[in-house]
A and B are shown apart, each in its own frame.
Chain A
Amino acid sequence: MLLEVTDVKKTYRDRQGQAVPALQGVSLGVAKGEFVAISGGSGCGKTTLMNVLGCLDSADAGSYRFEAEDVGSWPERKRAELRNRRIGFVFQSFHLLPFLTVRENIELPFLYSHQAERRSAAKIDELLASVGLEGMAGRYPTELSGGQQQRVAIARALVMGADLILADEPTGNLDAAMAQGVLDVFAELVRQGKTVVLVTHDPAIAARAYRRIQMEKGRIVSDIKERKEALV
């Protein structure tokens, strides 16, 4: 198992102080190399679960093991390092910094890395080519289409060599053609051995994953695995 959550619970409080149960006991294991799509109605807890998996938030109860380490109880400094080195994030609204060029956006994770690895311009160019953005390193995000921006975000998620990609509605802001293009990139990453967990409302997107999880009201209600070869 790459990661394993057991009976994770998370309850928010709204402004009136009312309890809003977002996760009501979720258990889930994801093996290395899996391609997982999580679907479910709005407000069923998909983003909350992704935040727990990405160490962006902590659960109220339950455990979270990443490569058998109890990262749920790690101090923030170690969790930040885990995010930096092992996990790549892709968000619905891209979340690129508008005042940085494509290259600088992709290099951003190096800023927060503890290892002194040299980022080489060639490596960034190679990465850009692999997501279909050759020659765009000097542009600013506003000079790119939505699909291109999302590819920059994917390149940024990969630059540190992350093996887990967490994508929360990565195609939510893209049209169907651009969405399939981004999905092609994810499929290629899985083929290379990376693990991808994505959240989507779109059955056509979910259909490209090998494992489909359905959530409802803070719980997993179905979990269907297919053979990997079937959809590559």
Chain B
Amino acid sequence: MSLGRNLKAAFQVVRALPVRTLLLALPVAASVALALATLAIDHGLSVKAQEAASSFGTDVISIRSGSKVIAGKSGAVANLTEEDVNALRSGVRGAKAVEGTRIENNVPTSAGAQSGKYTLFGVRPPWAKVRQFGAERGQFFDGDELDSAARVCVIGQTVARELYPNQDPIGQEIVINQVPFKVKGVLVSKGASPAEGDRDARIVIPLTTFFEKLYRTRLHLDQIVVQAKDATPEGLAKLDEQIATVLRQQHRIGAGQPDDFTVRLPERIAEESRGLSKDIFYLLLGLALVCGVVAILVLGVVTGQAVRSRRGEIGIRRALGATSDDILLQLWAESMVSSLLGGLIGIGLGIAGAWAIAQARQLAFGFDVLVILVPLIVVVLASLAGLFPARTAAALAPAEALRGKAA
């Protein structure tokens, strides 16, 4: 018994039956491709989600108005206020910082001949530190400018690029909702997130200016961010509880009534940014698993049938000096060639597919090292599946095998 000579025998058979080999390879290829692509895309998406979560701040809890807040959009009722912020500051011990934000979407903005619509944030200077969203160039506005409701702003990089092509925006004039402002700085880039859209298409101004110079009639807040002292899951959970207690008291919500606000913890934010939901991920992996099982069954059944119809061939080989182990090894090598071929096709297709999707969706393209185990497992299992039916045929006395019809 040696692998080499039986591999040669297997190759002679495979060469004679290229279509059968290819057909056997296909389910293996499908299963491997599907599994690889799913894992790779999920990898890309979770890298992106991690980035989204950490750029929001892994120690930052977000509170939005409305009981069911759809990611990225403010709730139906605008019921968060400065009083809530003050109540949280004094009532929540686990908070390092509490900052209220007023957000307005699609605010018409222009500079010279250029114009666009951007998301306007009204904040206090400490917000920049909490959200890690300070000025990359120029300066963020300061406390004096907040107190005096100065018409100054810090703009995101998309805004800078679109409104000031080939120009330094710092010190320039910008007209926000028909009110002239001065650009003090350009924000660090945060890129796009599935939950928040292009986070560089933002303009940040003092909260006081927002209320006194731009939107005088709508004096609510849209979001309160709370930075945790203790960012462990337990710490965050405790903080979540304290926030709910304070806000329910503030909003006079009776026992048994639902919250009229939504608190999102960092991992929730990461999850919402994830894109490929866990359900779909498991569905695709399940599909890959089904393909894998089909591949294994097909190889098993086909090898079983081959063994029956090839009894004569087995008998001849035995007569010429093959042991039953040789026969087993040859049959295994034959299904190994098919499944290996399938594995290679599957790896090619899976990587190509994952790469294409990563390109289209601007995802990090990469694999967990363990991913190489997937084709390996499928290939080995599929090739072994043929051995069960082969065992009995290989164990027959040569005379018995020869009594079956000629090859």
Contacts and interface: CB of A to CB of B under 8 A. Distances in A.
B313 A97 contact: yes
B18 to A, nearest CB: 11
Interface stretch (A73-81, A131-139, A192-200, A207-215): A73-81
Contact of B320 (A99, A100, A104, A108): A108
Interface stretch (B34-42, B257-265, B392-400): B392-400
Interface stretch (B5-13, B341-349, B357-365, B382-390): B5-13
Nearest to A97: B407
B397 A58 contact: yes
Contacts of A112: 5, 317, 320-322, 326
A178 B15 CA distance: 33
A144 B379 CA distance: 39
A195 to B, nearest CB: 17
A176 interface: no
12 contacts: A76-B323, A80-B318, A80-B326, A83-B318, A89-B320, A94-B406, A97-B313, A97-B407, A98-B407, A104-B12, A111-B322, A156-B320
Contacts of B46: none
B316 interface: yes
B14 to A, nearest CB: 10
Given A57-B398, A80-B322, 4 more contacts: A80-B318, A80-B326, A108-B317, A111-B8
B319 interface: yes
B320 A109 contact: yes
A93 B400 contact: no
B288 to A, nearest CB: 34
What are the nearest 6 A-B pairs in CB distance? A84-B321, A99-B16, A112-B321, A57-B399, A51-B399, A56-B399
A56 B319 contact: yes
Query: Chain B: interface residue count, which band?
Result: 20 to 34
Contacts of B398: 51, 56-57, 83
B312 interface: yes
A99 B17 CA distance: 9
Nearest to A159: B320
Contacts, number: 76
Contact of B400 (A57, A94, A99): A57
Nearest to B315: A95
A127 interface: no
A54 interface: yes
A121 to B, nearest CB: 17
Nearest to A156: B320
A98 B6 CA distance: 18
B338 interface: no
Nearest to A89: B319
A111 B16 contact: no
Interface of A: 51, 54, 56-58, 76-77, 80-81, 83-85, 89, 91, 93-100, 104, 108-109, 111-113, 156
A95 B404 CA distance: 11
Which of the listed residues B317, B320, B322, B398 has the most CB atoms from chain A within 10 Å of its own CB? B320
Contacts of A95: 312, 315-316, 319, 402, 406-407
Contacts of A76: 323-324
A54 B12 contact: no
Contacts of A80: 318, 321-323, 326
Contacts of A57: 397-400
Contacts of B326: 80, 112
Contacts of B320: 83-84, 89, 108-109, 111-112, 156
Given A84-B321, A85-B321, A97 B400 contact: no
Contacts of A96: 407
B276 to A, nearest CB: 47
Contacts of B317: 108, 112
Contacts of B312: 95
Contacts of B397: 56-58
B321 A91 contact: no
A45 B78 CA distance: 100
A99 B406 contact: no
A83 B321 contact: yes
A122 to B, nearest CB: 21
Given A56-B398, A56-B399, A93 B321 contact: no
